[in-house]
């Protein structure tokens, strides 16, 4: 195989995205706490930082770090409630975010609701984060961890 052939093969790999799954698996294998954060996001589907923090037993700073690393890997995305506040055409995920926010703030005063609308972000799974191969693999690792 020549140098040019190797470069072409590498480009194909990067364009197909197959390297991405292997990178994600490697990263989540090496960092079990980040894997737990991702596993909780799989369970919650759509959650505020506080909801995730209650389920994952690590420091707040560490949870933020894990969430942003998962965003860099393309597994999660962050949605601001204020961006959806006056929007008329919402997709299914955006409707889910707004309904969760309204449930959370249902017993708050209007000033508090407006304050939290400006401050609150929800984390959602991306298409890569819902990849069945990665989800099954994380589930298998978590079962092994629980049984050990």
pLDDT tens digits along 31-44: 989 999 999 999 99
Percent residues over pLDDT 70 in the chain: 95
CA R_g for the chain: 19
Q: pLDDT value at position 17?
A: 60
Average pLDDT over residues 138-148: 82
For the chain, the average pLDDT equals 88
Q: Which CATH number fits domain 3-143: 1.10.10, 3.90.550, 2.30.29, 2.60.120?
A: 1.10.10
pLDDT at 75: 92
- Supply the DSSP symbol for 58: S
Whole-model pTM: value is: 0.81
Q: What distance, in Å, lies between the first and last C-alpha atoms of the chain? A: 44
For residue range 11-57, list pLDDT tens digits in order.
777 666 656 788 888 899 899 899 999 999 999 989 999 999 998 88
| Res 16: pLDDT | 64
Domain spans of the chain? 3-143
């Amino acid at each position: 195989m020549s140098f040019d052939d190797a470069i072409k093969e590498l480009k194909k790999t990067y364009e197909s995205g197959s390297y991405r799954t292997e990178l994600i698996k490697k990263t989540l294998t090496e960092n079990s706490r980040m894997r737990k954060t991702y596993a909780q996001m799989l369970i919650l589907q759509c959650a505020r930082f506080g909801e995730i923090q209650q389920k994952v037993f690590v420091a707040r700073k560490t949870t933020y770090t894990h969430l942003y690393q998962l965003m860099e890997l393309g597994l999660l995305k962050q949605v601001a409630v204020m961006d959806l506040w006056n929007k008329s055409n919402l997709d299914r995920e955006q409707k889910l975010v707004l309904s969760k926010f309204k449930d959370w703030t249902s017993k708050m005063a209007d000033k508090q609701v407006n304050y939290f609308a400006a401050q609150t972000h929800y984390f959602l799974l991306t298409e890569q984060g819902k990849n069945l191969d990665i989800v099954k693999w994380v589930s298998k690792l978590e079962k092994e961890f629980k049984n050990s």
